Amino acid sequence: MSTKDFIEKDYYKVLGVPKDATEAEIKKAYRKLAREFHPDANKGNTKAEERFKEISEANDVLGDPKKRKEYDEARALFGNGGFRPGPGGAGGSFNFDLGDLFGGGAQGQGQGAGGFGGGLGDVFGGLFNRGSSGTTRVQPRRGQDIDTEVTLSFTEAIEGATVPLRMSSQAPCKACSGTGDANGNPRVCPTCVGTGQVARGSGGGFSLTDPCPDCKGRGLIAENPCEICKGSGRAKSSRTMQVRIPAGVSDGQRIRLRGKGAPGERGGPAGDLYVTVHVATHPVFGRKGDNLTVTVPVTFSEAALGGEVRVPTLGGPAVTLKLPPGTPNGRTMRARGKGAVRKDGTRGDLLVTVEVSVPTELSGKARDALEAYREATVGEDPRAELFQAAKGA
Ligand SMILES: [Zn+2]
Ligand SMILES: [Zn+2]
């Protein structure tokens, strides 16, 4: 069944039902006529055979609510069959031939069509290649991109997290299925023939377009504007989405989630969602790219004599680091694979910085030991080189 059939054939007339017939009425009329003109009951009668085919075709369209809606819309577009196609255009309001309009019109073959051969191709393309939601679509429009922010804990940023995001955006109005019309059946705007744009005039080989003033760029006109959305077809909708934030994000990073933005209009794709991530600080761990950092206090004797030091890791068991004898204060050592998760799933390192801690209180025994240490090192002056260098330059 072609668009041409839709416009040329009055299926309601074929079945003898009114345009607002219910599904049951259509079914009943079809059954009655099908029995009457069935080939088995009219052997050799070609007229009855033709009629039976017509009846079946009409039922195929009107008996299917989705097809019926498309059919109604196609006919509404051309004034309920007032369109009389033909090479001469006799009696029709449109003066060009259907081959151009429905065949190669969009490729520019419909030269005789004046200004809108291509425009009409668009109308039909949109009208009959619609998405699944079944609302009237003229020209698909991509949904808006949405910006939002989220604050993650330090660990969530390292490991990745699924967080609920509450967002409000413009979505198709539920009351009118986004059509803007109270009956869910808007008219295609005659000014812009559904494109939502009008030419502003052309010059220098290019043309400019403006949003159509009559339909405000929607391509559709609501005869009975929906009360909820005042005919705009759009409504503010809040939704909470579970969003997966990948592992390894850092503070201030902006991630793009494709297709998670505002829903598209008339079958258009959804926009994207941009999430700016804030990461809370951690009391123990810091971060340098893929690496985590931690500062570990050691005693003077551990640093001087060497030893094994236990170091905490983020979300895992502690690791033991071997401190070589004579480790200076502030030296950084590396615990491999204990850092942040990288894009490929591997982990960076944990950078462990040694900080020699000075006891603020000493027990008697410790004091005695340190006094003895002072005795033993009395000839050593750690500042001798400092003064030497200060004089030199
Ligand atoms: Zn318009
Ligand atoms: Zn509405």
pLDDT the model gives residue 139? 67
- CATH number of the domain encompassing residue 49: 1.10.287.110
Residue 224 lies in a domain: no
Same domain, 318 and 336: yes
Burial category of 172 from C-beta neighbours within 10 Å (exposed 0-12, middle 13-18, buried 19 and up):
buried
Nearest-ligand number for the alpha carbon of 195? 1
Q: Are residues 72 and 158 in the same domain?
A: no
What's the gap in Å between 179 CA and the centre of ligand 1?
A: 14
Phi and psi angles of residue 134, each rounded to the nearest 5 degrees, phi first: 80, 10
- Report residue 165 as tokens: 């995001």
For residue 192, the CA-to-ligand 1 centroid distance in Å is 4
308 shares a domain with 252: no
Q: Is 215 annotated as a binding residue?
A: yes
Statement to judge: residues 265 and 294 lie in one domain: no
The enclosing domain of 273 has a CATH number of 2.60.260.20
Total domain count, the chain: 3
| Residue 173 marked ligand-binding | yes
Ligand nearest to the CA of residue 196, numbered in listed order: 1
What pLDDT is recorded for position 148?
87
In a domain, 98, yes or no: no
Token readout for 194 is 């559904």
CA of 134 to the centre of ligand 2 (A): 15
Q: What is the pLDDT of residue 201?
A: 64
| Residue type at 71 in one-letter notation | Y
192 is in an annotated binding site: yes
Is residue 321 located within the same domain as residue 262? no
Q: How far is the CA of 233 from the centre of ligand 1 (A)?
A: 15
Ligand nearest to the CA of 197: 1
Q: Check whether residue 8 and residue 76 sit in a common domain.
A: yes
Q: Are residues 268 and 296 in the same domain?
A: no
- Examine the fold and report which residue of 128, 155, 185 is the final residue of a domain before the chain moves on: 128
Say yes or no: 295 and 259 in one domain.
no
Would 106 be classed as within a structural domain?
Answer: no
* Amino acid 10: pLDDT: 83
**Residue 48 shares a structural domain with residue 152:** no
Ligand-binding annotation for 189, yes or no, is: yes
- Which of 225, 252, 279 is the endpoint of a domain? 279
- CB count within 10 Å of CB 315 equals 10
User: 181: CA distance to ligand 2 center in Å?
Assistant: 7
In a domain, residue 21? The reply is: yes
pTM, rounded to two decimals: 0.47
* C-alpha 380 to ligand 2 mean position (Å): 88
Instruction: Label each residue of 9-67 as H, E or C.
Output: CCHHHHHCCCCCCCHHHHHHHHHHHHHHHCHHHCCCCHHHHHHHHHHHHHHHHHCCHHH
Domain boundaries, position 291: 286-377
Of 69, 99, 128, which one is at a domain's C-terminal end?
Answer: 128
Here the tokens at position 62 are: 């009107």
Task: Compute the distance from residue 210 Cα to the ligand 2 centre, in Å.
Answer: 25
Residues 259 and 319 in one domain: no
- Binding residue per annotation — 102? no
pLDDT value at position 2?
A: 57
In a domain, 353, yes or no: yes
**CA of 171, nearest ligand number:** 2
Splitting the chain (393 residues) into consecutive groups of 10 residues, what average pLDDT does each group show? Answer: 66 85 87 83 82 87 85 66 37 34 35 35 37 48 85 91 81 80 84 83 66 84 86 79 87 89 79 91 93 95 95 93 96 94 88 94 93 92 89 76
Find the 184 Cα to ligand 1 centroid distance in Å: 18
What single string gives the DSSP state of each residue in 228-290? TTTTSSEEEEEEEEEEEEPTT--TT-EEEETT-SSPPBTTPPP--EEEEEEE---SS-EEETT
Rounded distance from Cα 218 to ligand 1 centre (Å): 7
Is 4 a domain residue? yes
Based on the domain organization, do 299 and 355 belong to the same domain? yes
What is the 321 CA–ligand 2 centroid distance (Å)?
66
Report pLDDT for 376. Answer: 93
